[in-house]
Amino acid sequence: MKASVYTQLVEKLHRIDRLNSVAGLMSWDEQVNLPPASGDRRAEQMALLAELQHREAADPVLAEWLGVLEADGGADLDDDQRAVVKEARRDYDRIARLPEAFVVRMAKLESQAYHAWEEAREKSDYALFAPFLQQQLDMAKEEAGYHDLSGPDIYDFHIDNHDPGMTAVTIEPLFTELRTGLVPLVREIVASPIKADPSPLIGLSLDGQKLFLKEVTDWIGFDYTRGRVDVSAHPFCGGDAADTRMTTRFVRSAPLEALYSSIHETGHGLYEQGLPVEHLGTALGRAVGMGVHESQSRMWENQVGRGRSFWRFFEPRFREIFQLGSDKISSDQLFLAANEVKLHPIRVESDEVTYNLHIMLRFELEKRLFDGDLSVDDLPEAWNDLSIELLGLRPENDAEGVLQDVHWSGGAFGYFPSYCLGNMISAQLWDTICEELPDLEQGFEQGDFSRLLSWLREKIHCQGQRQDTVTLVRRVTGEAISPKPLLRYLNDRYLPLYRS
Amino acid sequence: MKASVYTQLVEKLHRIDRLNSVAGLMSWDEQVNLPPASGDRRAEQMALLAELQHREAADPVLAEWLGVLEADGGADLDDDQRAVVKEARRDYDRIARLPEAFVVRMAKLESQAYHAWEEAREKSDYALFAPFLQQQLDMAKEEAGYHDLSGPDIYDFHIDNHDPGMTAVTIEPLFTELRTGLVPLVREIVASPIKADPSPLIGLSLDGQKLFLKEVTDWIGFDYTRGRVDVSAHPFCGGDAADTRMTTRFVRSAPLEALYSSIHETGHGLYEQGLPVEHLGTALGRAVGMGVHESQSRMWENQVGRGRSFWRFFEPRFREIFQLGSDKISSDQLFLAANEVKLHPIRVESDEVTYNLHIMLRFELEKRLFDGDLSVDDLPEAWNDLSIELLGLRPENDAEGVLQDVHWSGGAFGYFPSYCLGNMISAQLWDTICEELPDLEQGFEQGDFSRLLSWLREKIHCQGQRQDTVTLVRRVTGEAISPKPLLRYLNDRYLPLYRS
């Protein structure tokens, strides 16, 4: 009896996933391809898809099947099946409580708010975006209300959406410890007379950049037979294991940005592509959460991509493509350019040291927005004040300040902390990896990145959602999530570079 | 009573259209972006969408509303409303009779057959495609069976799908007359010592080609704020008025192909963009049929784009972009290259004179496939034989022969005749246009293409589906569809060029 119900459940989950993947592709297309005046049409399409998605995912038959499978504490199910049922229940409860009309409204708003944000950022005019942000915030509260949540539970609900099990209270001490350790490091680097100088790289040909980033990401393992890379205003990784769509962007003043954002998204893409395709849509074929996802992108971008060994292998090809002799930039200068640390108002253009301060800023503001301490109207000023406090600089305008990120336009509150958690998890995993694979970096120098990928495939990717973030990290590293490995790693990498 | 039912009907039609547009975009993406190993996933996504589309479009509530609105011969409705109801009825009857499982099977097959065709064409291996073609043919027959059709009505059903009101019997005499007139023209051109020589254009830079075709299509009126152009194996125009997606392709040996396929697709795109967005999904916001659609693409490609006045205006910019002096190619040689006529095995690479012979070949083979006179296994040989008879040449391999077109992989039988009908309608409309706008071509020389576009907007685009193809042509030109204007136009344009 349970066996046949389980089969039906899994088929339904695949079906839901298939429909979600269509919406995912339409959303990828919206950011990559959509003509500027086609936004209204897309908003209507997304709203209709959201309605159909909701109808599938809130189908009462799911409650019936889940009830059967959960009977007697899930007896007769094996561990994998129990994991599938548990996550299906979590999803079902999250979705079924939302009225269809609410879901449709949310999808429509998401699309409209995205285009409003695009325009507002372009014109650096916060007033164009503020009403949409207010609506997103109201909807985020309304959503939590359908789960009978109030007070601080509302923000926690949204954090939990991205990183199951985490709350503002569990995150706060991690961030505080990290900040305490970061401040002297940043102070020392900023005060150092040694400065990275990427100026010899400015103006690298676009075609060359595309070629190089494609070669690098292909080489480290991104499977281009079931994935692609395109260009969007805000780099991201969409799609899924069967069709992975990552994006990058080219910024003249930041000549390595396209490369590093591609390696970053490749880290996400490798995680997606490492999930078993046959399990797409069930807990066995889904990522744990955004924190672990981000640990993968960060590890490839930073621990790997900004390392000496990486550059020892790729530098000759880099110089060949761009016809860049060592008279123009020495190897040491190139390496320093790849590890430039400077206080910058834009999160996605900042380095891995100061990046975390950007996240703390957003975490703080989100808490205050949800607490009601801060109004949407006062947000730009609060942003700027906190920017001075944390980064020591005031954004020149709102495009460089409160309007810089896409997330809030999509109603993705509680998402930012995942980035910082990802940095911590990444460093923590890296410690374990370096212990278990002692001559890993020598391999990188020879162009062998496959041992790392195999390790990640086995320990992280193939696991799907069998464990939550906290459990997975503890199981793989033997420790609870902590900022210590990240602080150690950052000190070890950056102090030798910037200490004269 | 009728008023409120009509409002409900129209809302439902918009909703169906919105879902169809999602499937349309996914299909555009499949041809433009899909990674090579992601085809299975896409087939599953398309099958699910087809199921949902069918569920919407076959919703029994439509029958109920249509019944109310059709009562008393559509009394209380105005002409526009009657047109909307009539087309909604036609669609509903076409779709509601098909079982959902059939529609899902059809969508899955379409996607699988497309990828099989792609591979078969690449390897020139018909055997890889034949089983899918057989299935498509069986499904086309099965589909007609749900409408209780048999014998010659089956093929007519599919023709009617693309050009309402047309049948094999109405097409046949038009094609015969056209062929009779074409044969001596082709013979004379082929025998002429004057030959077009596009070889000085081979190797034009890709970036330059992209720039030029974008400038040209933008200039003649394609609205890039709600449309785009990309690259696909087989150029097409997807999307709709709100988001028009055309494609082109670059062929080294045919240096003007990308330009002309873009102008061609722009003709389709201008038609789509000329349909009133607020009526998308009803008869007031849809194209009449493929024949008229093709008349638009052909007119911009041929009557306009291959004309002297077009080149007088665009030639300086063309030479500027490609740094092409008249020592490399004279104006007359360039014009002749744009009007090259030669017998070529590939339809989409052939000129507007011989193109029609390619269509007759396909029309003949489709009739025989549906009659049962010809088996799928014998198709390549029959193709080659007919190619010798009509074009005087035998394709070197199946990639150049039976595998060259995408249509049958998508089950689009009865579609090809529309191309030839489009050529006829285009020439026929052109006669009327030149009478009504006497100094049109002088305007082209000055870069004014807007008078033509305004005329087409008013007489064709804005009409939507208010009249069928036959009625529309008669109303606008005063004549029944005939091959005579096309023959006259081809003789007038090509004989002076190729007569020494």
Task: Give pLDDT tens digits for A141-175.
Answer: 999 999 999 999 999 999 999 998 899 999 999 99
**What is the per-residue pLDDT for A500?**
77
List, as one string, the DSSP characters of B418-448.
HHHHHHHHHHHHHHHHHHHSTTHHHHHHTT-
Instruction: Check: CB of residue A251 under 8 Å from CB of residue A258.
Output: yes
Instruction: Check: CB of residue B196 under 8 Å from CB of residue B344.
Output: no
B99: left (phi over 0), alpha (psi -120 to 50) or beta: beta
Instruction: Please check whether residue B15 touches A, CB under 8 A.
Output: yes
Give the other-Cβ count within 10 Å of A161's Cβ.
18
Best mutation target among A52, A111, A230, A247 (most B Cβ atoms within 10 Å) is: A52
Buried b (16+ CB within 10 A) or exposed e, A373-389: ebebeebbebbbebbee
- Pick from A22, A37, A227: CB nearest B225: A37
**What is the per-residue pLDDT for B399?**
96
A161 contact partners, CB below 8 Å, separation of at least 6: A94, A414
Instruction: Please check whether residue A332 touches B, CB under 8 A.
Output: no
Q: Residue B41: its chain A contacts at CB < 8 A?
A: 21, 242-243, 277
Best mutation target among A27, A29, A206, A224 (most B Cβ atoms within 10 Å) is: A29
Strands B227-231 and B243-248: parallel
Query: Given an 8 Å threshold on Cβ–Cβ distance, is A22 in contact with B18?
Result: no
Query: Rounded to a whole number, what is the distance in angstroms from the first to the last CA of chain A?
Result: 71
Query: Given an 8 Å threshold on Cβ–Cβ distance, is A48 in contact with B243?
Result: no
In one-letter notation, the amino acid at residue B286 is: R
Q: What is the tens place of the pLDDT at every residue in B365-387?
A: 999 999 999 999 999 999 999 99
**What is the per-residue pLDDT for A173?**
97
Q: Both tokens of residue B81?
A: 């409303």
Instruction: Check: CB of residue B299 under 8 Å from CB of residue B430.
Output: yes
Best mutation target among A32, A49, A104, A226 (most B Cβ atoms within 10 Å) is: A226
CATH of B168-498, one of 1.10.1370.30, 3.30.70.260, 3.10.20.30, 1.10.287.110: 1.10.1370.30
Instruction: Check: CB of residue B30 under 8 Å from CB of residue B114.
Output: yes
Beta bridge partners of B247: B230
Instruction: Please check whether residue A308 touches B, CB under 8 A.
Output: no
B327 contact partners, CB below 8 Å, separation of at least 6: none
Catalytic residue among A265, A301, A366, A400: A265
Q: Residue A26: its chain B contacts at CB < 8 A?
A: 22, 25-26
pLDDT, average across residues B168-179: 97
A323: left (phi over 0), alpha (psi -120 to 50) or beta: left
Buried b (16+ CB within 10 A) or exposed e, A54-81: bebbbbeebeebbebbbeeebeebeeeb
Query: Given an 8 Å threshold on Cβ–Cβ distance, is B26 in contact with A21?
Result: no
Beta bridge partners of B248: B231
Does residue A234 have a pLDDT over 90? Answer: no
Q: Residue A35: its chain B contacts at CB < 8 A?
A: 224-228, 243-244
Instruction: Check: CB of residue A56 under 8 Å from CB of residue A15.
Output: yes
Q: Both tokens of residue A365?
A: 């503001």
Instruction: Check: CB of residue A310 under 8 Å from CB of residue A334.
Output: no
Q: Residue A30: its chain B contacts at CB < 8 A?
A: none
Q: How confident is the model at residue A71 (pLDDT cuts 50, 70, 90)?
A: very high
Closest-CA distance, A219 to chain B, in angstroms, reads 17
Q: What is the tens place of the pLDDT at every residue in A210-229?
A: 999 999 999 999 999 999 99
Instruction: Please check whether residue B484 touches A, CB under 8 A.
Output: no
Q: Both tokens of residue B488?
A: 């006259």
Of A368, A366, A365, A400, the residue nearest A383 (C-alpha): A365
**What is the per-residue pLDDT for B363?**
98
B71 contact partners, CB below 8 Å, separation of at least 6: none
Q: What is the tens place of the pLDDT at every residue in B36-86?
A: 999 999 999 999 999 999 999 999 999 999 999 999 999 999 999 999 999
Q: Which own/partner pairs from A429-436 qualify as long-range (CB within 8 Å, at least 24 positions apart)?
A: A429/A295, A429/A299, A429/A460, A429/A473, A429/A476, A429/A477, A430/A299, A430/A303, A430/A485, A430/A489, A431/A477, A431/A485, A431/A489, A432/A476, A432/A477, A432/A478
Q: What is the tens place of the pLDDT at every residue in B311-364?
A: 999 999 999 999 999 999 999 999 999 999 999 999 988 899 999 999 999 999
Q: What is the tens place of the pLDDT at every residue in A318-357?
A: 999 999 999 999 999 999 999 999 999 999 889 999 999 9
- Give CA separation, A39 vs A116, A135, B10, B225, in Å: 10, 18, 22, 10
Q: What percent of chain B has pLDDT over 90?
A: 95
For chain A, the average pLDDT equals: 96
Angle, CA of B14, B20 and B21, to the nearest 5° = 90
- Pick from B22, B35, B228: CB nearest A243: B35
Residue that has been written with the tokens 């169809």 in this structure:
B20
Q: What is the tens place of the pLDDT at every residue in B137-162?
A: 999 999 999 999 999 999 999 999 99
B94 contact partners, CB below 8 Å, separation of at least 6: B147, B161
Active site residue B70: no
Instruction: Please check whether residue B45 touches A, CB under 8 A.
Output: yes
Q: Residue B226: its chain A contacts at CB < 8 A?
A: 35-38
Query: Given an 8 Å threshold on Cβ–Cβ distance, is B18 in contact with A45?
Result: yes
Query: Given an 8 Å threshold on Cβ–Cβ distance, is A242 in contact with B41?
Result: yes
- Pick from B35, B40, B228: CB nearest A224: B35
Does residue B111 have a pLDDT over 90? Answer: no
**What is the per-residue pLDDT for A164?**
87
Q: Which helix (H) or strand (E) holds B237?
A: strand B237-240
Nearest-CA residue of chain A relative to B17?
A45
Catalytic residue among B87, B118, B257, B265: B265
Closest-CA distance, B99 to chain A, in angstroms, reads 20
pTM strictly above 0.90: yes
Q: Which own/partner pairs from A30-35 qualify as long-range (CB within 8 Å, at least 24 positions apart)?
A: A30/A111, A30/A114, A31/A114, A31/A232, A31/A233, A31/A234, A31/A236, A31/A238, A31/A247, A32/A230, A32/A231, A32/A232, A32/A245, A32/A247, A33/B228, A34/B243, A35/B224, A35/B225, A35/B226, A35/B227, A35/B228, A35/B243, A35/B244
Instruction: Please check whether residue A225 touches B, CB under 8 A.
Output: yes
Of B243, B231, B233, B224, the residue nearest B24 (C-alpha): B243
Query: Given an 8 Å threshold on Cβ–Cβ distance, is B48 in contact with A15?
Result: yes
Of B132, B123, B131, the residue nearest B398 (C-alpha): B123
- Pick from A18, A41, A226: CB nearest B243: A41
Q: Which helix (H) or strand (E) holds B231?
A: strand B227-231
Query: Given an 8 Å threshold on Cβ–Cβ distance, is A26 in contact with B21?
Result: no
- Give CA separation, A79 vs A87, A342, A466, B229, B304, in Å: 12, 48, 9, 50, 68
Q: From CA A278, how far away is CA A10, in angstroms rounded?
A: 11
**What is the per-residue pLDDT for B1?**
78
Does residue B479 have a pLDDT over 90? Answer: yes
List, as one string, the DSSP characters of A227-285.
EEEEE-SS--EEEETTEEEEEE---TTSTTHHHHHHHHHHHHHHHHHHS-GGGTTSGGG
**Which residues numbered 19-38 in A keep a CB inside 8 Å of some CB on B?**
19, 21-22, 25-26, 29, 33-38
Q: From CA B29, how far away is CA B10, in angstroms rounded?
A: 28
pLDDT, average across residues A287-300: 97
Closest-CA distance, A20 to chain B, in angstroms, reads 10
In one-letter notation, the amino acid at residue A72 is: D
Instruction: Check: CB of residue A463 under 8 Å from CB of residue A277.
Output: no
Q: Where are the domains of chain A?
A: 2-132, 168-498
Q: From CA A51, how far away is CA A202, in angstroms rounded?
A: 47
**Which residues numbered 102-121 in A keep a CB inside 8 Å of some CB on B?**
none
Q: Both tokens of residue A32?
A: 């990559």
Instruction: Please check whether residue A146 touches B, CB under 8 A.
Output: no
pLDDT, average across residues A54-59: 97
CA A302 to chain centroid? 14
Query: Given an 8 Å threshold on Cβ–Cβ distance, is B226 in contact with A38?
Result: yes
Q: Both tokens of residue A95?
A: 């979705």
B316 contact partners, CB below 8 Å, separation of at least 6: none
List, as one string, the DSSP characters of B295-317.
HHHHIIIIIITTSHHHHHHHHHH
Q: Both tokens of residue A268?
A: 């996400």
For chain B, the average pLDDT equals: 96
- Give CA separation, A45 vs A129, A335, B34, B226, in Å: 22, 46, 21, 15
Best mutation target among B20, B25, B55, B205 (most A Cβ atoms within 10 Å) is: B25
